[in-house]
Structure 1
Amino acid sequence: MTIHVRLQQLIDALDISVLEFARQLGERRGEKVYHILHGRLKPRYDTLEKIVAVYPQVNADWLLRGEGLMFKQLGSPSAAMNTEERLRNMEFLLFQLNERMALLQETNDLLRVEVARLRESR
C-alpha cells in the first residue's frame, strides 16, 4: 500500500475533509495534499513530520511504512484508544489482511499456470 493510500485512509479515519486536513498542517489550500493523494507528488519529510506533530495519535511506522496500526497505543490497549479508534484499527487490519490474501491468491494462480505450462512442455 502506498503512502498516498495511507494518507487517504487517515483522513477518512479522522473524519475530516482534505481541505481541513491541509489547513491543520498549515496549508492555506488543499492543493498540495490533493496532489499527494492522487499520486502526483510524494510527501516531503517536513509534511510527514507535521502530520505526526498535529496528530500525535498517528503511528509514524504505519504512516511511513504501512507497519502496525494506524493509531498508537499509549499504555494499556484498553485505555489507549476509544472504541471508535479501536474499530478503525480493526477495519484497517482487516483491509490489510484482505490485500495480502488477494496478493497470495494472485501468486497462487500464477504458480498454477506455470506448473501447468511446465507439465505440458514435458
Structure 2
Amino acid sequence: MDMTINQRLDDFLEEKYISQEELRSQLGLKTRQQVSNWINCREKISEKHIIRIVELYPELNANWLITNAGNMFNDQKIVRHINRNAYGFCEECIKKEQKIEYLQELIHQRDQEIKLLNREIGKLEDRLTRRVENKEL
C-alpha cells in the first residue's frame, strides 16, 4: 500500500517524538484539530504547510515526505547545509561557538584565580617555614 503525505508526516512525528500540539504550535495553527485531521487523513496538507514543516525540520527529507522516495531523514551534510542562514552561517554553529567562547573565558578566569591562590599558598608556606625555623632556633 502506498503511503500518503499525511501518513508519512505521521510516521515522521512518531519517529521524532513530536506531538500534534508541538507541531500545531510551531506552525502557528489555531487548533490542534487541523493537525489531527492531517494525521487521520481527513484533510489534505496544504503546500504552504508542507513547506513550513520541511523548514522547521531540516532533517526531514522533503523528497521522501512528498513522493515517498528515499529515506525519511536527510544526510547530516545536507542538514548542516540547510541550517545555514542567508549569509551562509550555520545558526547552530554560531550558538555553539559563542558558548565555547564563554566557557573559554570562564576557564581563563578560573586559571587566574588558581594562579593567585597558588601564590597565596606559596606565601603562607614560606611564613610557616620561617616560623618553624624560628622555633627550632
Q: Which TM-score band (shorter chain)?
A: 0.5 to 0.7
Q: Give the counterpart of 1:73 among 61, 72, 75.
A: 75
Alignment of 1:1-122 (within 5 A): 1-75=3-77
Aligned with 2:54: secondary structure? helix
Amino acid at match of 1:38: N
Query: What percentage of aligned pairs have identical amino acids?
Result: 33
Within 2, Cα distance between the matches of 1:13 and 1:39? 18
Measured after TM superposition, the shift of residue 75 of structure 1 is 3.0
TM-score, normalised relative to structure 1: 0.58
Aligned with 1:75: secondary structure? helix
Task: Compute the RMSD of aligned alpha carbons.
Answer: 1.8
Amino acid at match of 2:39: L
Within 2, Cα distance between the matches of 1:26 and 1:14? 19
Give CA deviations for 1:65-101 in whole Å, capped at 9, x if unaligned: 111111100339xxxxxxxxxxxxxxxxxxxxxxxxx
Within 2, Cα distance between the matches of 1:69 and 1:15? 18
Amino acid at match of 1:73: D
Amino acid at match of 1:55: Y
Measured after TM superposition, the shift of residue 28 of structure 1 is 3.2
TM-score, normalised relative to structure 2: 0.52
Q: How many residues align?
A: 77
Partner of 1:105: none
Worse-matched range after superposition: 21-30 or 61-70:
21-30
Structure 1: where are the runs of 5+ without partners?
77-122
Measured after TM superposition, the shift of residue 10 of structure 1 is 0.8
Q: Which has the larger radius of gyration?
A: 2
Measured after TM superposition, the shift of residue 39 of structure 1 is 1.2
Moved over 6 A (4+): none
